[in-house]
Each structure stands twice: as C-alpha cells, then as structure tokens.
Amino acid sequence: MTRRGLETCATVLILCGAAAMAVQPPDAVAQEFPSRSIRLLVGFPAGGPSDLPARLIAERMQKELGQPVVVENKTGAAGMIALNEMLAQPRDGHTLLLCSYLDVSNTLLYKSVAYKLADLAPISMVSKAYYAFTVPTSPPVKDMAELIAYAKERPGQLNYGKVGAGSVTELLARQLEKVAGISMVGVPFKGTGPALQEVVAGRLELTVSPLALALPQHEGGKVKILGLTSMERLAVAPDVPTLVEQKVPIANYGWWGMCAASGTPKPVIDRLNAVVTAAVGSPDYKAVLEKGGTVAVASTPEQLGSIVAETVKEFGDLIASLGIKPLE
C-alpha cells in the first residue's frame, strides 16, 4: 500500500473512532465514569461550612464510584480561585466544585470576573445554613431591640466584623443598619472564625456568622446569639429567636451545592447527582450537619439551577437597595 493510502486509512480509522464515541449510548458514558480519581475543589479553608460537607460527601462518593475522591482547599478571592481551577480542567466530571451562593454574589459584587454563571453545571444542593447575629456576653443587651437601642445611643461607634467587601457578613449587617436606622463601623477580617474570636474576647461588639460556627460558643456561654436569619426557630437552637419574630425583617440563608463545569456530559451529571443525593440523604450526613446548625438539603440539577437564578435576583435586589457599587 502506498504512503498516501496508509494516511487515508489512518484518517478513516480516526474518524470512525470519533463517530463511535459520538454515538456512544448515554448509559455507556455513565458506566465508564469515573475512569480516574476525582478532585473536589473547595474555595475556603478546612473546617468551615464548605469544607465539612465536601469531605463527608467525598467519602461516600469514593465508596460508590470506586475511585479516589480528593478534597482540595483552593482558598482565596472569595472562592474564585477554586472555581477558575475547575473551569481550566477537562469538562468530563473528574474535577468538581463545592459551589455556593458566593459564586453567584461575586458576579454581582465585582465589575469583572473570569467566569459566567453559565460556566457552571449544577449537580445537587448539599446544604444550607442560617446566620447568627452574635455579641459578647458582656454588653448589656439581651435581644435585637436592645442592640438597636444600644447602637442608636452610639451612632457610628458600634463595631462589627465582616469578611470581605460585599460578603454576606457585611450585607446582613448593613441591612440591619438600614431597617433599624442605625450606623455601625465594619471591621474587616480574613475569616468569620477570627471575627468570632474577637467577639469572645469582647473586643468586637457584633458579628454575623454561620450558626454552625457561633453555636458552640453560644452553648459554652462565651458569646450570646441574639437572633437567627431563619424564618422559624431551629431545633438545634430552640432558645434563640429569629430576627423576624423580633420585628427585624431580615431572613436569609447561605447554600452550598455540588457543581461541575458546563459541557460535562449529562449522563455523568446524572450519575453524580444520584451519588451526591444519596450521600446528602444519609442519616450520618444529616446528623453531623444538623448538629452544627446546618441543614442537609439535596436537589435535582434543575432545582439547583433555579436556586442560582433566585440568588441572582435576591442578591441583586439587596445590593441595589444598599447602594453598593461593584468593585474593581
């Protein structure tokens, strides 16, 4: 056979192979996944509300999928380093992200980000968490009404901890300023944990933190939680009233989910959804999360997509109402 004939034959074989892959049945695609270890990226430090569910789910995924599932904490830039790292990898489901409402809010808080929400392929919700308005045990306030009165007597003096410009910890504090007609001073911290420790020490007068972080300190008598952003009291903290029942119209929650990059084959997304929802629905997962004040919640990919859309509207409205301009 001539050289040209050999080249033609090789070309035909390549094209035939590509065609065979293109018409591969969806079930076959799902059955072949995963073919190697899976990376699960988390954009925040170990031990936080993003990290714990990621590690619990990764353990269950590894058992179900038969491949290692490695959690990697890629911290920085409000979670954007981890997200962009996932988008830079092949879109085959072998690199995943513990995504959250922060990935949505970043697109609203910054003038330019390196991704679009359309770059994310939702897999499932994994948890949602409410926020606690937390003060030291020493100030003479026992509820939100007294905190507001205390702040009104000291305009521009009460300090609160915030984690980054436009973070939920800042947005909720600024929302309180607006609805209560008070003025406070935001003090930046690298994380909610360090801010909470300053509240314990009595050097910071208020912080808004995930209940999972504040609850142990509250139960230990080191801080006082004045109110929660849930609509109803939570079983894990029955003594803590909501802000709404204290006539402070603030209700909000943070959500976390599992996401892949857009373009990941649907059969892979569906298989991952089945494994993740089984993990989230397990009694062990629910018990661990709910003990810390976080609610275990699973969903379909479509439902998580709807939550992303709702978050865009809710955060957009809140940011606009507070007059926050997008950052460079």
Q: What is the pLDDT of residue 193?
A: 86
The half-sphere exposure of 219 on its side-chain side, counting CA atoms within 13 A, is: 12
Average pLDDT value for the chain:
89
Domains 36-128+254-321 and 130-246 share a fold: yes
Q: What is the pLDDT of residue 26?
A: 54
Residue 5's pLDDT band, with cuts at 50, 70 and 90, is very low
Q: What is the pLDDT of residue 27?
A: 61
Strand blocks (E) in the chain: 38-42, 69-73, 95-100, 120-136, 159-162, 185-188, 206-210, 223-228, 253-261, 294-296
Q: What is the pLDDT of residue 12?
A: 38
The half-sphere exposure of 142 on its side-chain side, counting CA atoms within 13 A, is: 1
How much is the average pLDDT of 10-33? 51
Residue 47's pLDDT band, with cuts at 50, 70 and 90, is confident
pLDDT of 11 strictly over 60 = no
Q: What is the DSSP string of 149-164?
A: HHHHHSTTT-EEEESS
What fold, for 36-128+254-321?
D-Maltodextrin-Binding Protein; domain 2 (3.40.190)
Map out the domains of the chain as residue ranges: 36-128+254-321, 130-246
Residues 48-75: pLDDT tens digits? 778 899 999 999 999 999 999 999 999 9
Peptide bond preceding 34 in cis form (omega within 30 of 0): yes
Residues 84-130: pLDDT tens digits? 999 999 999 999 999 999 899 999 988 889 999 999 999 999 999 89
Q: To which CATH superfamily is domain 130-246 assigned? A: Periplasmic binding protein-like II (3.40.190.10)
Q: Which amino acid is at 11?
A: T
Residues 124-153: pLDDT tens digits? 999 998 999 999 998 779 999 999 999 999
The half-sphere exposure of 7 on its side-chain side, counting CA atoms within 13 A, is: 3
Q: What is the pLDDT of residue 14?
A: 35
Task: State pTM to two decimals.
Answer: 0.81
d(Cα 284, Cα 289) in Å, to the nearest integer? 9
Residue 15's pLDDT band, with cuts at 50, 70 and 90, is very low
